[in-house]
Amino acid sequence: MGFGIEAYFRALFHGEFPENASWDRVEGRIFGGQVVNKKELSASAAGNVSLGGEISVHRLGFGAMRLTGEGIWGPPKDRKGALAVLRRAVELDVNFIDTADSYGPHVSEELIAEALFPYPAGLVIATKGGWNRPGPNQWTHDATPSHLRKAVEGSLKRLRLDRIDVYQLHIPDPVVSFEASVETLAQLRNEGKIRVVGLSNVTLEHIVRARRIVPIVSVQNRYSFADREWDYVVDYCERSGIAFIPWFPLGAGKVAGDVLNQIAQAHGASPTQVALAWLLRRSPITLPIPGTSSIEHLEQNVAASSLRLTEEEYEELSRVPELAGSR
């Protein structure tokens, strides 16, 4: 049975896989006739990407937002399970974990430290600031200099770090000077509390303005094969040597689901894995960060590092029309 596009989005970013998309617990998945055994799973198969020439990470990371409770609020229902997922990610050579102080709030960062501290060599934790959280599924802007300073200090304490490797402005604040927000992060970098600076949910204009103040190593925007609004930002990042971190798209149409299913069946893979393979092929600077609260689904995502689309398959997915509502 096919795996619909709505189910694909739930699977990729909510960790909800249908039974018929489950991982073969014994033999692994077959990609183009090649069996990828669980013992051979490694995010290193995706290759590496540089963050500002200072940090190198494997090009398949882990997004830790969904480890929190419902509404990205409070602790997870299964705390032991969440800790196990984080530990398994590191076992699978995932060395880039993306989080934010607003996930929980604070819960995601606390879980990362509980599961992984003292951190293994080479593990990069990227976090973000710029939101307040009044309640479940509620987000209010605050990228004032005072808030960002407090956010960085809080993240340092929760993550048990002396310096945050990658700190990202979560989103520009419409009532705060963008330059003031970025200048605050530049100051914190000069003070040794941040190693490198990234942006999230930004336009090309924001990136250009920010780069006049401080080197920008990464941009995190909504993007997928079926949600291509930020194509031109990906192209700019590639030309500029900036890593592009795609987060989940808001929707896609029936045509996208049909094409995804067809290509997935040809590879003996899941649609989720094909979608990740497309992102990895899109540009050498893409760094997908699929999140899940399930070890099984984590392993499926990491297995996508080994999936190679043909040129024809890549182009077919690239021609899929966007859903107008995704903008």
For the record, the structure tokens of 34 come out as 């090649």
Q: What is the rounded distance in angstroms from the CA atom of residue 252 to the CA atom of residue 262? A: 16
Q: What is the rounded distance in angstroms from the CA atom of residue 273 to the CA atom of residue 128? A: 27
- Strands 48-51 and 55-58: what pairing? antiparallel
Residue type, 117: F
What 313-321 contacts at long range (C-beta under 8 Å, 24+ apart), as own/partner pairs, is 313/263, 313/266, 313/274, 314/278, 314/281, 316/259, 316/263, 317/225, 317/259, 317/260, 317/263, 317/274, 317/278, 318/225, 318/278, 320/225, 320/226, 320/252, 320/255, 320/256, 320/259, 321/253, 321/255, 321/256
What is the per-residue DSSP string for 216-254?
EEEEEEE-BTTB-TTHHHHHHHHHHT-EEEEE--S---H
Q: What is the rounded distance in angstroms from the CA atom of residue 59 to the CA atom of residue 70? A: 28
The one catalytic residue in 103, 119, 167, 223 is: 103
CA proximity to 244, closest of 277, 203, 287, 278: 287
- Strands 243-247 and 216-222: what pairing? parallel
Is the Cα dihedral 68, 157, 91, 54 positive or negative?
A: positive
- Residue 103 a catalytic site member: yes
CA proximity to 302, closest of 324, 326, 325, 270: 270
Give the catalytic positions in this structure: 103
